[in-house]
Chain A
Amino acid sequence: SQTIHQWPATLVQPVGSPLSLECTVEGTSNPNLYWYRQAAGRGLQLLFYSVGIGQISSEVPQNLSASRPQDRQFILSSKKLLLSDSGFYLCACSEAGDYGYTFGSGTRLTVV
């Protein structure tokens, strides 16, 4: 079964600072990878997804970007954080033909 490692668990960053959140996957090859954001009391908002190395699709225009430098590594970045970037960020993966998602433990980002 798949395992997702996501770090850090919490992060407090000033407005205008850069961001890098990393997610790595074990137990599978060539997974589909996803970055979600979850606002308090809200559903999951898909930010980016990737079906392979270097292949990134963006769902929502925003201040963030994503990269997939290796098969099982997915990175969420920003050059300059905004207050509105605060939230709970989740990395997820799924395998081809497998409909279920496995989630990481999440990163609570607070931009101050």
Chain B
Amino acid sequence: EDQVTQSPEALRLQEGESSSLNCSYTVSGLRGLFWYRQDPGKGPEFLFTLYSAGEEKEKERLKATLTKKESFLHITAPKPEDSATYLCAVRLDSNYQLIWGAGTKLIIKP
């Protein structure tokens, strides 16, 4: 069964304390892996798409990496405004739908 698992469920960091969020996947044929940021009461906001193992993408304090089994979202020197839920999703070769993880709630304390 195709599955996407995110860990941890929640992560509390001090401002400036770098860390990583994990998205592991078990799917038959990966077409792309997506990272989204979701603020409370809002729709998810697109961050990155990764297509192949070894690929990396960066945006401000965020860097996403991809291997054949998982993706990491590295956050460097986070600020309180980085607090949000980060969602991971994969798209399969077989169709255009996305399989979503449950998300990691990131809290950055000042």
Contact = CB atoms under 8 A, between A and B. Distances in A.
Interface of A: 4, 6, 32, 41-44, 46, 49, 88, 90, 92, 94, 99-106, 108
Report which residue of A4, A44, A46, A106 has the largest number of chain B beta carbons within 10 angstroms of its beta carbon. A44
A46 B97 contact: yes
B81 to A, nearest CB: 19
Contact of A108 (B32, B41, B45, B103): B41
A90 B32 CA distance: 21
Interface residues of B, number: 22
B99 to A, nearest CB: 9
Interface in B44-102: 44-46, 49, 87, 89, 91, 96-98, 100-102
A106 B34 contact: no
B79 to A, nearest CB: 24
21 contacts: A4-B43, A43-B87, A43-B101, A44-B44, A44-B87, A44-B89, A44-B100, A46-B97, A49-B97, A90-B43, A90-B44, A92-B43, A99-B91, A99-B96, A101-B98, A103-B43, A105-B42, A105-B43, A106-B41, A106-B42, A108-B41
B10 to A, nearest CB: 9
B96 A43 contact: no
Nearest to A36: B100
Nearest to B43: A103
Contacts of B49: 99-100
